[in-house]
A = this chain, B = another copy of it.
Amino acid sequence: MATTEPAVRPPDNAGKKILMIMTTGPEDPDKTYAPFYTAALMAAMEIDTTMYFLMHAPELLVKGRADSLPLKKGGNLRMFIDMALENGVKFLACSESCRDLCDIPEGALLDGVKLVGSATLADLALEADSVISF
């Protein structure tokens, strides 16, 4: 679906930016895949899409973690994360959350995830055409 729906749309999303703020972590797996799926779809629609992970959400991005997160619909979270990354969604993790709340050691996050500070969230929010919080 992520690849077929955009085909019938005019390419009028160029330059548009959506920021998706993720605050849900592995404590509620079924609330985590829709955001990745939606972000992947947005990127396929040529929207510049960034996901910012804070609170317990960065734990979803620890290597190997998503592979063991089963979903009610079948499969696991990893395929949705990969779909988003492959479609060009940018993944930013809050360095304070990683350090103070999630105890994520350096190098534990998936390749392609960038650590940033909280000030970045303010900049991203103001730059975005739309902010969605999950």
**Residue A81 lies at the interface, judged by CB distance under 8 Å to chain B:** no
Please, how many angstroms separate the alpha-carbon atoms of A122 and B94 in the complex? Answer: 24
Closest to A19 in B: B130
- Residues in B with CB closer than 8 Å to A108 are none
- Residues in B with CB closer than 8 Å to A117 are 1, 5
A2-29 at interface with B (beta carbon < 8 Å) = 5-6, 9, 13, 16, 18, 21, 23
State whether B100 touches A73 (Cβ < 8 A).
yes
**Residue A129 lies at the interface, judged by CB distance under 8 Å to chain B:** yes
Closest CB of chain B to A5's CB: distance in Å? Answer: 5
Stretch at the interface among A39-47, A60-68, A83-91: A39-47
Partner of A133, one of B6, B73, B132: B132
Partner of A122, one of B41, B73, B125: B41
State whether B1 touches A34 (Cβ < 8 A).
no
Partner of A18, one of B9, B37, B118, B125: B125
